[in-house]
C-alpha cells in the first residue's frame, strides 16, 4: 500500500510540475535502478549546463512495469511527459493513437546527429507507417550471464565462441546440484524467462519464424515444425532436464536474486542486468552469446527517446533528445553500465568497452549485432506478446503440452493481428 501511495504521489507531483512549467521547460520520465537514475541526473545536469534556457524536470519510476502503467495513464489522461523512453515493441500503440510526435523530420535537420551515426537495426526498429517516431538510445541483445566461480568449482569450461545448445545443456546439467544431499536442488544450472520474446531467437536459429510474414504478419506460427522444435527445447530445460527452477522455486526466490546469491550458474538477460550484477563482490561473472542452433541468431532489445505530440515546446524537447543522443549524452548513460549505445562511435569506445568494468566480454554485445532479429513492429504487438507468453509459461511449467500452448496462442492472438491489419 505504501508503494502504491508513493507512486501516486510521484505522479501527482510530476504532473503538477508539468502544469507549472514556463516555456523552455521539458518534462522527462525514465525508469530503472538507482545507478541508472544517477546517470540520467548527470545527463540532465550536463544538458542544462549547455542549455541554461531549458529546464529539464526529471521524473523517475524504478519499476519498469509501473513505468509502463504510468505512461498509459498519462497518455489516456492527456498529460504525458514531454520526453520519455519507450521500447520498440511498445511504441506502436502510442504512435497509432496520435500520442507521439514523429522525429524523422527533426533528425533530418539536425547538425549534431544523423541517421547514419546509429546502428541501422535501431533506426529500423522505430519506423512505422513510413515514419521514424523515436530516436534510439541503445541496442542490446539477449546473452548468457554466467558465474565463473561455479564453473570453476564444477570443472566446467567457460562457454566458448560458437558454443551450441548441446554444449549449453552439458554445462547446465553439471552445474545443477543438490549440495547437501537432501534430494532438493540447491544450485540450478540455468534460468530463462518463459516468454515468446525469449523463445523467438531459438525459433530463428532453427530457420523458422514466430509470424507468417515479416512485412505484414497476419498470424503467429508457433505451430510450425521449426517453432515447435525450439519451443520443446525450451520446455525440456524445465520438465525433462530439470536444470532450471520450477514455479515453486522461482516464486520463493526469483532467478535474478538467485544469481546474485551465487546459487544460479547461468541466466539469460539483456544489458539491463549489468548495473545490478556489477554490485556483486562475492564471485566473478562474465557473459557469453546465446548457444546456437542450426545457425546463429539473437534478438534485438532497444529503447528510444520519444516525444509526446502534446508537448508545448517541441523545439526545447528536441534539443534535449538531440543532446541525449549525441556522443556526449550517450557516453554519460553508457557509463552506468545499463546500455549498449546505439551510436557506433560510442559503442566502440572505452565508454562502453571499459576493460576495468564487468563484464569483461562486453564486446559480445557488439559481435552479435549482425545476427540480431526483431519482433514485428505492430500497433497491437504488445497484446500479442503478452497473450502468447502466458501460453509459453503454461507449457514451460507443465500445465499444457507444447502443441496445446502453440495452438492456444495462435487462436487467442488472432484478433490482435486482425485489428492491426484493419488499420487504414
Beta bridge partners of 141: 300
Residue 367 lies inside a defined structural domain of this protein: no
Task: Give yes or no: residues 409 and 290 share one domain.
Answer: yes
Q: Do 135 and 22 sit in the same domain of this protein?
A: yes
Shared domain check, 112 and 6: yes
306 and 385 together in one domain: no
Q: Which domain holds residue 86?
A: 2-139+302-362
Residue 225 lies in a domain: yes
Q: What does the block give as the cell for 198?
A: 525469449
106 lies in the same domain as 234: no
pTM above 0.75, yes or no: yes
User: Which segments in the chain show pLDDT lower than 70?
Assistant: 1-23, 424
What is the spatial distance between Cα 73 and Cα 371, in angstroms, rounded to a whole number?
36
The tens digit of pLDDT for each residue in 52-102 reads 999 999 999 999 899 999 999 999 999 999 999 999 999 999 999 999 999
* 33 within a domain of the structure (yes/no): yes
Judge whether 149 lies within some domain.
yes
Does a structural domain hold residue 368? no
What pLDDT does 135 receive?
98
369 within a domain of the structure (yes/no): no
- CATH number for the domain harbouring residue 401: 3.40.190.10
Query: Is 381 found in the same domain as 321?
Result: no
Domain boundary among 321, 336, 362: 362
For residue 19, the model assigns a pLDDT of 44
Grid cell, residue 383, equals 497484446
- What is each CA distance from 246 to 168, 187, 188, 255, 412, in whole angstroms? 19, 12, 10, 11, 25
**Are 64 and 171 found together in one domain?**
no
Cis bond upstream, residue 359 (ω within 30): yes
Q: How many CB atoms lie within 10 A of CB 27?
A: 25
155 part of a folded domain = yes
One domain, residues 295 and 406: yes
Could you write out the three-class secondary structure of 97-122? CCCECCCHHHHHHCCCCCHHHECHHH
Specify the number of domains making up the chain.
Answer: 2
Neighbour tally for 48: CB within 10 Å: 15
Q: Rounded to whole angstroms, how far apart are CA atoms 366 and 341? A: 10
Residue-wise pLDDT tens digits, 218-276: 999 999 999 999 999 999 999 999 999 999 999 999 999 999 999 999 999 999 999 99
Are 112 and 256 part of one and the same domain?
no
On whether both 133 and 109 belong to a single domain, the answer is yes
CB within 8 A of 231, min separation 6: which ones? 199, 203, 222, 392, 395, 402, 405, 406
Q: Angle, nearest 10°, between helix axes 381-396 and 402-421? A: 180
Q: What is the pLDDT of residue 23?
A: 53
Cell of 355: 576493460
Q: Could you tell me which of 42, 96, 87, 98 has the C-alpha nearest to residue 65?
A: 87
In a domain, 267, yes or no: yes
Could you give the count of Cα atoms lying within 13 Å of 351 in the half-sphere of its Cβ?
21
User: Same domain for 133 and 157?
Assistant: no
Same domain, 340 and 412: no
Domain-terminating residue out of 332, 362, 392: 362
Amino acid at each position: 500500500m505504501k508503494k502504491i501511495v508513493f507512486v501516486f504521489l510521484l505522479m501527482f507531483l510530476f504532473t503538477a510540475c508539468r502544469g507549472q512549467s514556463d516555456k523552455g521547460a521539458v518534462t522527462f520520465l525514465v525508469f530503472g535502478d538507482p545507478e541508472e537514475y544517477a546517470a540520467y541526473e548527470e545527463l540532465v545536469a550536463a544538458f542544462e549546463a549547455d542549455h541554461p534556457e531549458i529546464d529539464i524536470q526529471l521524473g523517475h519510476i524504478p519499476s519498469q512495469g509501473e513505468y509502463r502503467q504510468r505512461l498509459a495513464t498519462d497518455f489516456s489522461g492527456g498529460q504525458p511527459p514531454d520526453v520519455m523512453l519507450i521500447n520498440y515493441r511498445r511504441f506502436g500503440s502510442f504512435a497509432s493513437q496520435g500520442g507521439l510526435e514523429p522525429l524523422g523530420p527533426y533528425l533530418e535537420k539536425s547538425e549534431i546527429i544523423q541517421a547514419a551515426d546509429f546502428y541501422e537495426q535501431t533506426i529500423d526498429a522505430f519506423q512505422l507507417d513510413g515514419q521514424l517516431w523515436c530516436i534510439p538510445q541503445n541496442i542490446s541483445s539477449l546473452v548468457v550471464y554466467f558465474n565463473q566461480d561455479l564453473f570453476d568449482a564444477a570443472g566446467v569450461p567457460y562457454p566458448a565462441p560458437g558454443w551450441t545448445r548441446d554444449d549449453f545443456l552439458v554445462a547446465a546439467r553439471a552445474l545443477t546440484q543438490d549440495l547437501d544431499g537432501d534430494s532438493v536442488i540447491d544450485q540450478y544450472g540455468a534460468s530463462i524467462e518463459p516468454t515468446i520474446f525469449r523463445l523467438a531467437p531459438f525459433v530463428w536459429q532453427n530457420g523458422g519464424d514466430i509470424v507468417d510474414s515479416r512485412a505484414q504478419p497476419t498470424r503467429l506460427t508457433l505451430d510450425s515444425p521449426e517453432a515447435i522444435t525450439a519451443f520443446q527445447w525450451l520446455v525440456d530445460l524445465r520438465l525433462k532436464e530439470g536444470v532450471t527452477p520450477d514455479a515453486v522455486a522461482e516464486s520463493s526466490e526469483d532467478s535474478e536474486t538467485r544469481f546474485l546469491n551465487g546459487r544460479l550458474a547461468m541466466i539469460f538477460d539483456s544489458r539491463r542486468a549489468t548495473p545490478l550484477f556489477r554490485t556483486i563482490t562475492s564471485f566473478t561473472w562474465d557473459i557469453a552469446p546465446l548457444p546456437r542452433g542450426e545457425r546463429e541468431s539473437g534478438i534485438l532489445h532497444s529503447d528510444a527517446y520519444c516525444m509526446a505530440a502534446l508537448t508545448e515546446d517541441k523545439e526545447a524537447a528536441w534539443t534535449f533528445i538531440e543532446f541525449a543522443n549525441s556522443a556526449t549524452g550517450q557516453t554519460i548513460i553508457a557509463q552506468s553500465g545499463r546500455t549498449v549505445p546505439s551510436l557506433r562511435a560510442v559503442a566502440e569506445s572505452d565508454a562502453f568497452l571499459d576493460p576495468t568494468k564487468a563484464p569483461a566480454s562486453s564486446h559480445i554485445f557488439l559481435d552479435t549485432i549482425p545476427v540480431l532479429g526483431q519482433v514485428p513492429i505492430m500497433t497491437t504487438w504488445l497484446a500479442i506478446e503478452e497473450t502468447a507468453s502466458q501460453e509459453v509459461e503454461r507449457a514451460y511449467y507443465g500445465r499444457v503440452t507444447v502443441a496445446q500452448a502453440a495452438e492456444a496462442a495462435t487462436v487467442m492472438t488472432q484478433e490482435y493481428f486482425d485489428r492491426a491489419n484493419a488499420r487504414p
